Amino acid sequence: MDHHSPSLLAALAAVVGDAHVLTGAQDTAPYVAEWRGHYPGIARAVVRPASTAQVSRVVRLCADAGVPLVPQGGNTGLVGGSTPDDSGREIVISLGRMTALRRVDPLDNSITLEAGCKVLAAQQAALECGRLFPLSLASEGSATIGGILSTNAGGEQVLRYGNTRDLTLGLEVVLADGRVLDALTTLRKDNTGYDLKQLFIGAEGTLGIVTAAAFKLYAQPRRTVTGWVALPHPQAAVEILAMLTDAVGERVTAFELLGREALDQVLAHPLDGMRDPLGGGYPWAVLFDVSETSASLDPSGAVEEVLGQALERGLASDAALAASGRQAQEFWSLREHVPEAQRLQGPSLKHDISVAVSAIPAFIEAADTALRAAMPGIRIVCFGHVGDGNLHYNQSKPLGMEDAAFRARAPEIHDIVHGIAAGMQGSISAEHGIGRLKQDAFMRHKSPVALDLMARIKVALDPDGVFNPGRVLPLARRTALGGTP
């Protein structure tokens, strides 16, 4: 196919402009590896269309030439889903120039914007009309609308507002043959046939290229009660969550668990002002936000009552409510500093699992036991969105172990953790997707029936494998099943 290349690139340049077909190593560098430098690849070119019509023409040209396209947003992914492989065959299609805010409507509680818009820009546009765009994640200054849709991103407020999928009202998508699916409505109800937009959310760019989207907006919270609670065990976290939900309903906006090792690592490398809100000595902590949108109602009393009951019932050994926005920030900075603190401890193994919320304690018990048996002294850095049943269940090497020896045992450790999650009907990738990184575990733990249906969907929508081939479903798998539906 390489003989097509010069004329293909010329044709692409005719569509998007010479300046937006990048081929030099320096120009393409930001697009061919993930932001942490992982998954370095080689792109035949990086193409930067400025409109849906241009995306459509780019897709048609590449489909006709049999050249695969790798859609890319802010390139903040973690699983190798948005960068080219090392074949030099793939063309990266970056949506970064498509940043129009098409419409924001406070009466309709909706916002419609293009795929290249940053998440932060969506939040700001909503705020300017007195509404909340509730998706919030660490990478929000770089992550784009197209990226959060393609990965069904979660983040810090899923408990209250849901994942990206739950926030999505409509999509505009360029299909594998260049046609445009216009499902860009802001309707709250529409039962006319299959809900096609669902197919493209979380598909990691393998079924279509999202060019624009409409999302729900919410009321802005007027006040937030942030609390830090010391707990004897993870079961207490699950029970306090239920008590809080009972008392203040959907106002529980975030509910995060932190294990002692995670806290110790953070406090071993404190940034300025970081300290344990409760003086330390307890095995587990919960950090929560309860937010209230009504100016005239204050949930603090109800929250304090729950904490009082938790102390009485032995579910908590101590608790503090942030006395100011600044103190709330300090509580949260402890949580947010965990990944960086763990990095300073040397190599780490990471898992992004989910189980039913009520199964969190059993998961931790089983996984801790199995890992300590497999590797005495292993340090378990357990934290995450327990309100969503989602743990970042990570490991640091035992003190004194060689880095290489620890890394060599990664497959075994991953297998233990994923096997326990899967055995509890859990997920081996709650937030981050499959991409290339988790494909082996995905193929091993997903049911053959589910994998077969996914392959059928892929063939039905992208029969020639134009979009992000080999991501999510491996190439061989897709080809093997290509003819069956």
- What are the C-alpha distances in Å from 184 to residues 9, 190, 211, 253, 466? 31, 12, 10, 28, 23
Distance CA 1, CA 246 (A): 62
Distance CA 320, CA 327 (A): 10
Residues in the chain: 485
How far, in whole angstroms, is CA 185 from its chain's centroid? 24
State which residue, 197 or 397, has the beta carbon closest to its own copies.
Answer: 197
State which residue, 183 or 378, has the beta carbon closest to its own copies.
Answer: 183
Q: How far is the CB of 482 from its own copies (least distance, A)?
A: 11
Q: How far is the CB of 346 from its own copies (least distance, A)?
A: 28
State which residue, 305 or 403, has the beta carbon closest to its own copies.
Answer: 305
| Residue entry with tokens 């699950």 | 238
Distance CA 469, CA 453 (A): 17
Q: How far is the CB of 476 from its own copies (least distance, A)?
A: 16
- What are the C-alpha distances in Å from 135 to residues 101, 132, 155, 184? 17, 9, 7, 19
State which residue, 91 or 201, has the beta carbon closest to its own copies.
Answer: 201
- Name the burial class of residue 233, with classes exposed (0-12), middle (13-18) and buried (19+) by CB atoms within 10 angstroms of its CB: middle
Q: How far is the CB of 248 from its own copies (least distance, A)?
A: 5
Q: How far is the CB of 219 from its own copies (least distance, A)?
A: 4
Tokens of 464: 């020639």
State which residue, 255 or 406, has the beta carbon closest to its own copies.
Answer: 255
Nearest C-alpha neighbor of 163 from the set 344, 474, 388, 345? 388
Three-class SS of residue 52? helix
CB atoms inside a 10 Å sphere around CB 273: 9
Contacts 24+ apart (CB under 8 A), 17-23: 17/50, 20/47, 20/48, 20/49, 20/50, 20/97, 21/45, 21/46, 21/47, 21/48, 22/46, 22/47, 22/48
Q: How far is the CB of 249 from its own copies (least distance, A)?
A: 3
State which residue, 130 or 280, has the beta carbon closest to its own copies.
Answer: 130
- What are the C-alpha distances in Å from 121 to residues 100, 102, 108, 431? 10, 12, 19, 22
| Residue entry with tokens 């040209």 | 61
| Residue entry with tokens 């992000």 | 468
Beta-bridge partner residues of 306: none
State which residue, 406 or 442, has the beta carbon closest to its own copies.
Answer: 442
Q: How far is the CB of 295 from its own copies (least distance, A)?
A: 7
With a CB cutoff of 8 Å and minimum separation 6, the contacts of 300 are 225, 321
Nearest C-alpha neighbor of 55 from the set 197, 212, 186, 213? 212
State which residue, 79 or 375, has the beta carbon closest to its own copies.
Answer: 79
Exposure on the CB side of residue 47, measured as CA atoms within 13 A: 30
State which residue, 26 or 191, has the beta carbon closest to its own copies.
Answer: 191
Q: How far is the CB of 220 from its own copies (least distance, A)?
A: 8
Q: How far is the CB of 10 from its own copies (least distance, A)?
A: 29
Q: How far is the CB of 90 from its own copies (least distance, A)?
A: 21
Nearest C-alpha neighbor of 94 from the set 209, 213, 212, 214? 209
Q: How far is the CB of 24 from its own copies (least distance, A)?
A: 34
Nearest C-alpha neighbor of 289 from the set 303, 309, 310? 303
What is the crossing angle of helices 5-16 and 52-65, to 10°? 170
State which residue, 173 or 287, has the beta carbon closest to its own copies.
Answer: 173
Q: How far is the CB of 13 from its own copies (least distance, A)?
A: 28
Q: What is the DSSP string of 376-420?
A: TT-EEEEEEEGGGTEEEEEEEPPTT--HHHHHHTHHHHHHHHHHH
State which residue, 295 or 399, has the beta carbon closest to its own copies.
Answer: 295
State which residue, 11 or 212, has the beta carbon closest to its own copies.
Answer: 212
State which residue, 183 or 266, has the beta carbon closest to its own copies.
Answer: 183
Q: How far is the CB of 65 from its own copies (least distance, A)?
A: 21
